[in-house]
Structure 1
């Protein structure tokens, strides 16, 4: 736990210091527009990037922060963290679906509604804001969840509970986006429809229905079109003076890049797998050190990723069971039964581990196939090694002496002592032997050899 805590301190503590040091002091330059690109699924890395980026923008004397978005959506907790930063920002924020061909679906729609200025580039779209992950895979309410006329005569305790929970989450999401729309004076009715019905809009429809404020082809056009607009940022009214502003892009720091890599479900899954295998190898070969250290680091990083990603506990349990079964195959002679069961559990675990239907927060099938094939290959190698070991001649113990030649040292009444490999052994056998006779070992009975005479002397 101490190592894990130190690792977290390093990951979370160093980057903000570096970010502040990298930013120029207040007043060092004139007002500017600071651009933060939000690309791909919105997760913990995105929330951290936006939070740090807002601090850098203020240090750079920014007159406007532009969130250039192209996202399919993301995690609700990360989305709300971004929105909190927008609502608390004294610097006006423009949400801009850019460049052409981009989208702001699901969580991106909420962020666009929260921004002081909502803009889109030609050829973009937004919407489909219905929550897609509810309580660990709970489905959204549908026609089957509607109450039937005879429902009171046929109580079904499971369905009403499930429908009620789904309705709670949808109602909460609808109320949240409606409050954002009313705060910014945008179309609240369509915002609620995007949550309840999953509808989407093209850029022209969004402008016509007052879902967005402006359409702009690029950053310069956006700055020109919103110049003079009045917005309320952090409780005070601000008149935007954006025409001719210098636009600068804020790049993510090393910690954000590392966090983005670690919170990729595919990377997190592989880190967990490599970590467990490294520890298994270390325990099977004590003193190797390298596999244990590398495996421990990978496992800690994997646990960190699991801490910030939406995981399914059943999937995690299946993953641990799969690894345990495949490890047991190396020590228990089950003739592949444990290993095959482990691979089946492994594939099921990979499918269920990350509890989300959001693109970018699922383990891809190629990763599942490659890791399953790798684990299967390792299993086949272990089985082959065990089979060859079973067929290999015995090399230790009394049984390894069978068939070898020994020299009689003394003999009397069917028993005596022989020399074999420089050692003195007690022996029994039929017949009378003389010293220096050569005898052959037939078997071993504890520490006594059974011998018979050979037909030559030294």
Structure 2
């Protein structure tokens, strides 16, 4: 039978546990509601070259900001530039974002060069910390070829009409109009001054080829449109593209390139309070006072993408993948080289998909590796191997030629030397094998030692490699004597005593 007191205690315990659960649930709900009603600023960090990994991180950060309905996104940036495709994708997302984005070049000593300048112009608020700079926005041509648009010599502009050529016409006109000599001198002086000013005015850089002009003019129009959208200095933006000029933080503020110079994040939020920004749906007034700062730092996914899309890593993965497959095909069933090779090759192909790859360089690398392997499989006294190394080095150098995403020359040289060493080792091994005596067939028997089975003077029998052979000797031989094979005539061995050969 059950004790009534015990049942009552159990019921009280269950009731108390239920009340505690309800209280805990109410507390969690209240905290969630308080967090939803709390005004916050989401802070992100961009440190390094603009590429696919940074683009993915930036897109996810703005999506998170929209989900949490934060007041402002602050991106602390320090970048030397990066890929045009990634930069434009980030700008498109930023311009259509319902959450204002403030790009803040910090900490002291940071820069917003090249692609960073475009991002700064596209942001709703452009801010910099003291001792930072921006500029050098000239686009770099990807995919080989010479020139860097805007960095070469400017195209020759038509020279202004010289004063000496214009003076006779002016004099004739003056005489026809009855003007005085003083007027003529004055007009001639003005013409000369205008000519001198025209000579001193720098010509705009427009590129040396049609392709360079197209890239340069497209970049100028793009950055000017961003500047006009937010009311910033479009003329300096054009100079940053054409002439690769730079500005410090204080100069950028004075020339209306940025809106704020802030010493730290708190100073930035304090200065932005009450400022109007241009959004996709119109103007909006920021309210940044007493915002709670939430950080969204790069996670493992961003780090992994950054590692894989590093040109040196992608290049090394391709080499590992190629040799892994070669070793697997040379030794079927090994499994380990093939598994590592296929995984490395797939990762390299993913990286090449998002990197500025010159496919002529990629083809040269594959051809070079194939020729090196061909030298090992079919010796050609170095012709295939040397050609393969030359093709491999040239292809590696031109594989990726962006300013901030190039392959390390020491890595190229190291891998080329490794391939050359492997080829040299294979060649020496083949030469050594050619010098060795044959180990199969009748040629293998010449020079071998045999044992005489019976006494004989001209012909008899010997034991060689466990077999009984008919033998012929110019000297008498005794049973048990050791002889050396000097020649093979059909099924008869020519032998001689070991003593006579020494």
TM-score grouping bracket, smaller chain normalisation: 0.7 to 0.9
| Deviates most, 398-407 or 429-438 | 429-438
> Contact 2:470/2:493 (CA < 8 Å) preserved in 1?
no
Shift of the 429–241 alpha-carbon distance from structure 1 to 2, 3 Å rule, reads farther
| Aligned with 2:290 (options 229, 241, 244) | 244
Aligned equivalents of 2:75 and 2:498: distance in 1? 96
The residue correspondences of 1:40-189 to structure 2 (distance < 5 A) are 40-134=48-142, 136-137=144-145, 139=147, 140=149, 142-143=152-153, 145-146=155-156, 163-189=209-235
Shift of the 187–308 alpha-carbon distance from structure 1 to 2, 3 Å rule, reads same
| Aligned with 1:270 (options 312, 316, 331) | 316
The residue correspondences of 1:206-225 to structure 2 (distance < 5 A) are 206-225=252-271
Cα displacement string for residues 134-185 of structure 1 (whole angstroms, at most 9, x for unaligned residues): 5643522544644789xxxxxxxxxx99722211111111111111111111
Deviation of 1:350 (Å)? 2.1
Q: 2:425: which partner in 1?
A: 381
Shift of the 25–342 alpha-carbon distance from structure 1 to 2, 3 Å rule, reads farther
Q: 1:368: which partner in 2?
A: 412
Q: 1:16: which partner in 2?
A: none
TM-score by length of 2: 0.75
Q: 2:6: which partner in 1?
A: none
Aligned equivalents of 2:498 and 2:254: distance in 1? 110
Deviation of 1:27 (Å)? 7.3
Aligned equivalents of 1:117 and 1:374: distance in 2? 51
> Contact 1:26/1:59 (CA < 8 Å) preserved in 2?
no
Aligned equivalents of 1:407 and 1:283: distance in 2? 45
Give ranges in structure 1 of 5+ residues lacking alignment: 1-23, 150-159
Deviation of 1:368 (Å)? 2.2
Deviation of 1:233 (Å)? 2.9
Shift of the 386–210 alpha-carbon distance from structure 1 to 2, 3 Å rule, reads same
Q: Which SS does the other structure have where 1:318 is aligned?
A: helix
Aligned equivalents of 1:415 and 1:238: distance in 2? 115
**Residues 1:421 and 2:465 aligned together:** yes
Deviation of 1:108 (Å)? 0.5
Q: 2:187: which partner in 1?
A: none
Q: Which SS does the other structure have where 1:95 is aligned?
A: strand
Shift of the 415–182 alpha-carbon distance from structure 1 to 2, 3 Å rule, reads farther
Deviation of 1:372 (Å)? 2.5
Aligned equivalents of 1:199 and 1:455: distance in 2? 90
Aligned equivalents of 1:319 and 1:26: distance in 2? 59
**Residues 1:287 and 2:333 aligned together:** yes
Aligned equivalents of 2:158 and 2:461: distance in 1? 95
Structure label with greater radius of gyration:
2
Deviation of 1:418 (Å)? 6.4
Shift of the 287–415 alpha-carbon distance from structure 1 to 2, 3 Å rule, reads farther
Aligned equivalents of 1:421 and 1:182: distance in 2? 95
Q: Which SS does the other structure have where 2:71 is aligned?
A: strand
Deviation of 1:355 (Å)? 3.0
Q: Which SS does the other structure have where 2:131 is aligned?
A: coil
**Residues 1:301 and 2:347 aligned together:** yes
Shift of the 455–440 alpha-carbon distance from structure 1 to 2, 3 Å rule, reads closer
> Contact 1:26/1:60 (CA < 8 Å) preserved in 2?
no
Q: 1:229: which partner in 2?
A: 275
Shift of the 211–276 alpha-carbon distance from structure 1 to 2, 3 Å rule, reads same
Shift of the 455–266 alpha-carbon distance from structure 1 to 2, 3 Å rule, reads closer
Q: Which SS does the other structure have where 1:201 is aligned?
A: strand
**Residues 1:348 and 2:394 aligned together:** yes
Aligned equivalents of 2:220 and 2:293: distance in 1? 35
Aligned equivalents of 1:429 and 1:331: distance in 2? 44
Aligned equivalents of 1:45 and 1:26: distance in 2? 34
Give ranges in structure 2 of 5+ residues lacking alignment: 1-30, 160-205
Cα-Cα RMSD:
3.3
Aligned equivalents of 1:308 and 1:345: distance in 2? 24
**Residues 1:200 and 2:246 aligned together:** yes
Aligned equivalents of 2:304 and 2:278: distance in 1? 35
Deviation of 1:383 (Å)? 3.2
Cα displacement string for residues 410-432 of structure 1 (whole angstroms, at most 9, x for unaligned residues): 9xxx9998653234668788899
> Contact 2:96/2:280 (CA < 8 Å) preserved in 1?
yes
Task: Give the paired residue count.
Answer: 420
Aligned equivalents of 2:34 and 2:430: distance in 1? 72
